[in-house]
Amino acid sequence: MNHAVARRVEELERLAPPLTAQPDLDSYWDEELKRYAAKPLNATRTLVETPMAFMEAYDVAYEGFDETPIRGWYLLPKFSREEERKLPCVVLYHGYGGSRGYPEEYASYLLMGLAVFAIDVRGQAGETGNLMPQSYGMTRGWLTQGILDRDTCYYKAITVDALKALDWAAEQPEIDAGRICAMGGSQGGGLAMIAAALSDKPAIAVPHIPNMCHMDFGILNSASSLTEAASFVERFPGHLEAVLHTLSYFDNMNLAHRIRIPVFVTVGLKDPVTMPETIYAAYNRIEGDKRIVPFPFTGHAVTGEMQRQALEFIASRLL
């Protein structure tokens, strides 16, 4: 096909921008993963009532990056529990500024026979706070907290929180630890992708329209949360190199070579937020079992068709 849409996709499939990875990227993460593996979850799960007759719902709190209690919904389908078999589980991360929402929002997964663990991202619009110390000013939003150092930045905290959510799910007695999916959209898609790169817990990953990809391009061009980092550098221009250095450790483009599990990625070609150039820059560097589905006329949204295809992918791999 020789039309503009096909040419655009072909162009994106050839994208291979230079990596921004620091020489110690892999050794840094190998050491950090060992360190956080030893950190206790200190988790609680409390049964809660919902209007859903066939849903067993638990309010969970666990610790990830620090002592902040990260809240999540752990949901089980009652009709599958009667078979006394362990369930596959989808660990879900929400978009920027969102929250875990209400348990009933995840009913479609339960109807498939999947368990769900849907977490808050710290400090955003859910019931989870943020106990990270702050030693420097930040611009609006959450992204620029601690952004001058890889060990104090907000991305480090939410990445470790996301990884520890997978650890918690894998420990639950109802869950088949070999059938876990990391999944999310936008910010959540970025977390699902970085989890696929850094955690040994997920068997598959579904990053919908993922953020945290080719972030040096994104900070310059996208309308995403990276505009907060751009505003920070506008205010403190002398810190540009430090900011880019920090972001490089959490950029899925740099970490894509570590992904060894099947991934299903979606992208909207009209998305000004998680721009297709950024997503393809990361996706093209993934080796192995992968699939990306471009939606030529979709902006920054996870459409019904995107989700339907993702659920079909999950069913084909986990059920």
pLDDT in tens, 45-99: 999 999 999 999 999 999 999 999 999 999 999 986 555 689 999 999 999 999 9
pLDDT, residue 79, reads: 80
When the pLDDT of each residue in the chain is averaged and rounded to a whole number, the result is 97
Higher pLDDT, 80 or 199: 199
Q: Is 259 exposed, middle or buried (0-12, 13-18, 19+ CB in 10 A)?
A: buried
Domain boundaries, the chain: 4-318
In this prediction the pTM is 0.97
Which of 217, 219, 225 minimizes the C-alpha distance to 140? 225
Per-residue pLDDT at 85? 85
Percent of the chain at pLDDT exceeding 90: 97
Q: Catalytic: which of 120, 167, 251, 271?
A: 271
Give per-residue pLDDT as tens, 8-45.
Answer: 999 999 999 999 999 999 999 999 999 999 999 999 99
Task: Measure the CA angle with vertex 205, ends 199 and 207; round to 5°.
Answer: 110
What is the model's pLDDT at position 4? 93
Residue in 186, 199, 222, 225 annotated catalytic: 186
Active site annotation includes 186: yes
144, burial (CB in 10 Å: exposed 0-12, middle 13-18, buried 19+): buried
The reply, when asked if residue 28 is annotated as ligand binding, is: no
Task: Tell me the CATH architecture of domain 4-318.
Answer: 3-Layer(aba) Sandwich (3.40)
Q: Which of 94, 208, 214, 300 is catalytic?
A: 300
